[in-house]
Structure 1
Amino acid sequence: MKSIALLSRGSVVSELAPGILLAMVVAAAAGYITDHYGGPLMLLTLLLGMALVSLSDDGAKTAPGIKFASKRILRVGVALLGLRISLSDVTDLGMASLLLVVAAIGLSIGTGVLLARLVGRDSIFGILAGGAVGICGASAALAISSVLPQGKDRETDTIFTVVSVTLLSTIAMVLYPVIAGKFGLDDRLTGIFLGATIHDVAQVVGAGYLVSDEAGDTATVIKLMRVMMLMPVVLSLAFFMRSRNGEAGHKTPLPIFAFVFAALVLANSFNLVPEGLRLALVEASRWCLIIAIGALGMSTRLESFLKVGPRAATIVIGTTLVLLVFVMVVLNFTPYFIQ
């Protein structure tokens, strides 16, 4: 029996290995290009993956591993994000900042759903786009997509959302510090503004430290608050989809990675993980997400991506603008922030 089990495991590994190794090569190539020539890593990984889309076709030796990387490795990467966050990150900036983050996320998801209905898209895409804009960009899009109904267009919608929020984050990294200066925000408020509005973590850090160390530190903590909200949102969506689909006889599985994420946040908060190991796992999380992005790119045909169309772009851009205006209004007119 043991020999049969070992043979079975060996066959699974040999089946998955080519596709996983290919996704790792794509991620490594994108990382090399980014390190030496610059550019957004997630977007470059996607584009390199999309150039190899034929390798995910049914019957290709790499197809099973590519599918595995786009789903299972993705979830490992999201779970390990918990080691970047501690509960003290929330308490350091106070309850008002936390309430701002929660309200901004709720507004983003609600706006996404509303705009989706207005332009004739389904509410599921609105949740995906709103969650990506409101929480943490590409990582949120990947995590939220994993618990949404997996229709024939879901991967294409996810890729479109990842590309959109990555491009908008890059634009925001340049423009938002200028906007903050025009409104006369001091370094602390500028950090809150940048951390609460820019989609991806890397661009938040870049924009914040472009202004000052205080703005950079504040922006990073606010952004980590948004990242912390990822798992409550994902779990809520998973339970909602599970209850909605229950009557049809196929419940959405509970996302185990969400519970692992929460456990790692607690472990990090109480310093239960040695610092060397924590840093290694945080870096592993980053690479898991990059590998998963490469695999998703290899699963997405350009013609399918282009069919998503301007309606989807309207949802992502509209939600981004609503978030921008909301946070700026709160920072300028709420007594706690203008003191």
Structure 2
Amino acid sequence: MIAALSPDALRGQISTLGPGVLVAVIVAVAAQFLASHYDTPAMLLALLLGIALSFLGTEGKTPAGIAYSARTLLRLGVALLGVRISFGMLAGLGAPLILLVVGGVVATIGFGMAFGRFFGHKWRFSLLTAGSVAICGASAAMAISAILPKDERSEERLIFTVMGVTVLSTVAMIAYPILVRSLGLNDVQGGVFLGGTIHDVAQVVGAGYSVSEPTGDTATLVKLMRVAMLAPVVLIASLAIRRWAEPDPDGSRPPLLPGFVIAFLVLAALNSFGIIPTVVATFASDASRWLLLTAIAAVGMKTDLRSVMSVGGAAIALIILETLFIAAITLAGITLLT
């Protein structure tokens, strides 16, 4: 931990990591500025800007700090997502809708794992794409990637998945509200559909409130429940990987319960009991968004775009099918339950 270092060691760490972290932060700020002016997802812009500056991931004084941002800041950002979750808030949905949302997440991950092999992909890519589609888009992709055994294509798979779910989420933000109106769904039905199917939180909010305020409220609530599924999914995946998967090349395996997942659960519990003041929760939520934005910019700077695009059409087909699957199963569940 940097906080436990001596003053000289701390200065050394800052000197080593500072330039790369600063570059990643600057890219994140630029992405947010562009996103606010051109109505484009900040996560996608941070990724693309990072890729454009990929030489910084291998040259000069920045690689160490960029690697630190892509790993440590990413996990801290995921951990702080816990302040968005309240168990009481989720209980307000009612048992049938909770089961529908949970069932949609589980079924989508199962679908991706089962069908990935037919597209020529091994379990790592299938779990990464299915988990990101089922839970919360880019944030879930980064959290799941953190516990997967590493190989030479780990970062390529992560970049492709983040790009894929972000683009599809943006398309859904535009198309799904039209579908909600065409099908004549009421505010609750529309909110459940939008919150249960669109990948990223920001796009859910945009889509929901473009229909109506009650639809937006319900969509946001449902989406946060999907975010809450991140911790149990990562925990179960970690257990399965430790039991059955090959270890990393250095012989290591992911921890039984990753520290960022523990922090996520602790913060969610504290928020549920009202222990975290509103101002602190708001600050932590904003900090999470900035940390994840900085981390994805750093991941982009560590990636060769040519390698990412080599994943091919089968990868694109898989992530699109997973997206269509969660939409279909959620819509069917709404029809049956409401």
Normalised by the length of structure 2, the TM-score is 0.95
CA displacement at 1:114 relative to structure 2 = 2.0
From 286, 289, 293, the equivalent of 2:292 is: 289
Are residue 189 (structure 1) and residue 192 (structure 2) matched? no
Structure 2: distance between partners of 1:119 and 1:217: 37
The root-mean-square deviation of aligned C-alpha atoms, in Å, is 1.4
Aligned ranges for residues 154-165 of structure 1 at < 5 Å? 154-165=154-165
Structure 1: distance between partners of 2:85 and 2:309: 36
Asked if the contact 1:243/1:251 (under 8 Å) is kept, the reply is no
Q: What do residues 253-297 of structure 1 show as CA deviations (whole Å, max 9, x unaligned)?
A: 241010100000011111111111111111111100000010001
What corresponds to 1:12 in structure 2? 13
Asked if the contact 1:78/1:285 (under 8 Å) is kept, the reply is yes
What corresponds to 1:256 in structure 2? 259
Structure 2: distance between partners of 1:246 and 1:182: 48
Asked if the contact 1:124/1:148 (under 8 Å) is kept, the reply is yes
Q: Alignment partner of 1:121: what SS?
A: coil
Asked if the contact 1:245/1:252 (under 8 Å) is kept, the reply is no
What corresponds to 1:61 in structure 2? 61
Asked if the contact 1:80/1:264 (under 8 Å) is kept, the reply is yes
Structure 1: distance between partners of 2:169 and 2:247: 40
What is the aligned length? 331
Aligned ranges for residues 216-231 of structure 1 at < 5 Å? 216-231=216-231
| One-letter amino acid matched to 1:134 | A
What corresponds to 2:48 in structure 1? 47
* Percentage of matched positions with identical amino acids: 45
Q: Flag structure 2 segments of 5+ consecutive residues without an equivalent.
A: none
| One-letter amino acid matched to 1:121 | H
Asked if the contact 1:188/1:218 (under 8 Å) is kept, the reply is yes
Are residue 93 (structure 1) and residue 93 (structure 2) matched? yes
Structure 2: distance between partners of 1:251 and 1:31: 35
Structure 2: distance between partners of 1:172 and 1:41: 16
Q: Alignment partner of 1:146: what SS?
A: helix
What corresponds to 2:152 in structure 1? 152
CA displacement at 1:36 relative to structure 2 = 2.2
The worse-fitting range, judged by mean Cα deviation, of 286-295 and 250-259 is 250-259
Runs of 4+ in 1 over 3 A off after TM superposition: 245-249
Structure 2: distance between partners of 1:162 and 1:88: 31
Structure 1: distance between partners of 2:210 and 2:185: 15
Q: Flag structure 1 segments of 5+ consecutive residues without an equivalent.
A: none
CA displacement at 1:245 relative to structure 2 = 4.7
The worse-fitting range, judged by mean Cα deviation, of 249-258 and 13-22 is 249-258
Asked if the contact 2:101/2:330 (under 8 Å) is kept, the reply is no
Structure 1: distance between partners of 2:70 and 2:109: 24
Structure 2: distance between partners of 1:287 and 1:26: 11
Are residue 302 (structure 1) and residue 302 (structure 2) matched? no
Aligned ranges for residues 18-29 of structure 1 at < 5 Å? 18-29=19-30
Normalised by the length of structure 1, the TM-score is 0.95
The worse-fitting range, judged by mean Cα deviation, of 178-187 and 260-269 is 178-187
| One-letter amino acid matched to 1:280 | F
Are residue 330 (structure 1) and residue 322 (structure 2) matched? no
What corresponds to 2:320 in structure 1? 317
What corresponds to 2:168 in structure 1? 168
Structure 2: distance between partners of 1:79 and 1:280: 14
Asked if the contact 1:89/1:224 (under 8 Å) is kept, the reply is no
What corresponds to 2:77 in structure 1? 77
Asked if the contact 1:26/1:48 (under 8 Å) is kept, the reply is yes
Asked if the contact 1:191/1:215 (under 8 Å) is kept, the reply is yes
Are residue 234 (structure 1) and residue 234 (structure 2) matched? yes
